[in-house]
């Protein structure tokens, strides 16, 4: 098993797992006491022509999570949409014990290898033990605030998959990278690092999240998102296999809300969403989930 990279092991941040909105701004602020936020997820089961979704929410507390779980339990969710919620580690048990089985549960991070003496870390084995089926990896906040690099993230993904934990693998460019015309280069480099470690893509969902759109209210246009999703699919065709290219789910994240989800969901290669702020309200999250149903996409 790979050891923790020195930059992570020696950093006080290695004990934090606290993503905040707006990676660049948060990086400048030193995320000393950043609490984890509740995240939800969704994606389309592409092979079956169905849709699933992912979303997230604001800082969780026992009370706010209890309210959100009640709203989700009461929501009518299209049956062809797989729905995943990703609470902070410390609330996973509460969510597992109160949320309908209709919705699966994800962690926001996991240790890179087999569990051991890595104080503050949570292993894939522990996620399995607690019934957590998914993990989000490579989120821009973990890359840009916590300093996780492509290789480290790819290895985490491979180990989680080896333990039957499904992976939402995030990619996405910074604003300056987009402005410099490097969007595809950045995304392809991040994809290659996943591909260097992953051999079976069945349980992987790719989440394209342009960093400039996360928590900013500045959503990518459907055309901007679709352009990258198509490029990602082409990348898989060339570098992995045509089968994986056509079956892998590619979801979009970054300021998705109940008002803009329908237009995004119409795009052929947008298979669902990774939602942050808008998933704080159960009814809004349900609207986003139901926007990616194959019935509406087909309409
Ligand atoms: O980072 C995100 C989901 O993980 C996206 O957050 P927002 O939907 O708040 O932009």
CA distance 132 to 123: 11
- Tell whether ligand 1 has an atom less than 6 A from the beta carbon of residue 143: no
Tens digit of pLDDT for each residue in 200-233? 999 999 999 999 999 999 999 999 999 999 999 9
Pair of tokens at residue 198 = 């992953």
Pair of tokens at residue 82 = 């797989």
Respond yes or no: is residue 209 known to be catalytic. yes
Residue located nearest, by CA, to atom 2 of ligand 1: 276
- Tell whether ligand 1 has an atom less than 6 A from the beta carbon of residue 42: no
- Tell whether ligand 1 has an atom less than 6 A from the beta carbon of residue 253: yes
CA distance 228 to 207: 11
Sequence-ordered list of residues with C-beta below 8 angstroms from that of 192, at least 6 positions apart, any chain: 150, 239
CA of 254 to the centre of ligand 1 (A): 5
8 Å CB contact between 275 and 56: yes
**The pLDDT of residue 277:** 87
SS3 14: helix
278 φψ region: left (φ > 0), alpha (ψ -120 to 50), beta (else): alpha
**How many Å is the Cα radius of gyration of the chain?**
17
CA of 291 to the centre of ligand 1 (A): 17
- Tell whether ligand 1 has an atom less than 6 A from the beta carbon of residue 56: yes
CA distance 195 to 293: 29
pTM over 0.90: no
**The pLDDT of residue 74:** 96
**The pLDDT of residue 80:** 83
Pair of tokens at residue 44 = 């389309």
Residue located nearest, by CA, to atom 7 of ligand 1: 276
ipTM above 0.90, yes or no: yes
Low-confidence ranges of the chain (pLDDT < 50): 1-35, 45, 47-58, 297-299
Query: Dihedral, CA atoms, 130, 256, 209, 4, nearest 10 degrees?
Result: -30
Length of the chain: 299
């Amino acid at each position: 098993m790979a050891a923790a990279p020195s930059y992570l092991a020696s950093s006080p941040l290695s004990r934090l797992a606290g993503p905040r909105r707006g990676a660049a701004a948060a990086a400048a602020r030193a995320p000393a006491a950043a609490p984890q936020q509740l995240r939800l997820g969704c994606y389309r089961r592409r092979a079956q022509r169905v849709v699933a979704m992912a979303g997230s929410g604001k800082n969780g507390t026992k009370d706010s999570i209890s309210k959100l779980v009640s709203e989700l339990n009461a929501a009518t969710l299209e049956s062809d949409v797989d729905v995943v919620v990703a609470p902070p580690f410390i609330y996973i048990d509460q969510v597992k014990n109160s949320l309908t089985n209709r919705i699966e549960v994800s962690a926001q991070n996991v240790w890179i290898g087999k569990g051991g003496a890595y104080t503050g870390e949570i292993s894939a084995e522990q996620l399995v033990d607690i019934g957590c089926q998914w993990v989000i990896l490579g989120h821009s906040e973990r890359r840009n605030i916590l300093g996780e690099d492509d290789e480290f993230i790819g290895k985490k993904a491979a180990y989680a998959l080896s333990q039957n934990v499904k992976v939402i693998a995030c990619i996405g460019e910074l604003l300056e990278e987009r402005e410099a015309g490097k969007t595809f280069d950045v995304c392809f480099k991040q994809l290659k690092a996943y591909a260097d470690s992953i051999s079976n893509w069945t349980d992987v969902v790719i989440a394209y999240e342009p960093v400039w759109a996360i928590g900013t209210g500045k959503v990518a246009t459907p055309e901007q998102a679709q352009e990258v999703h198509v490029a990602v699919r082409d990348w898989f065709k060339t570098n992995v296999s045509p089968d994986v290219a056509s079956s892998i789910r590619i979801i979009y994240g970054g300021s998705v809300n109940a008002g803009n989800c329908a237009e995004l969901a119409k795009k052929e290669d947008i298979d669902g969403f990774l939602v942050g702020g808008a998933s704080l309200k159960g009814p809004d999250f349900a609207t986003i989930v139901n926007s990616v149903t194959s019935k509406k996409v087909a309409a």
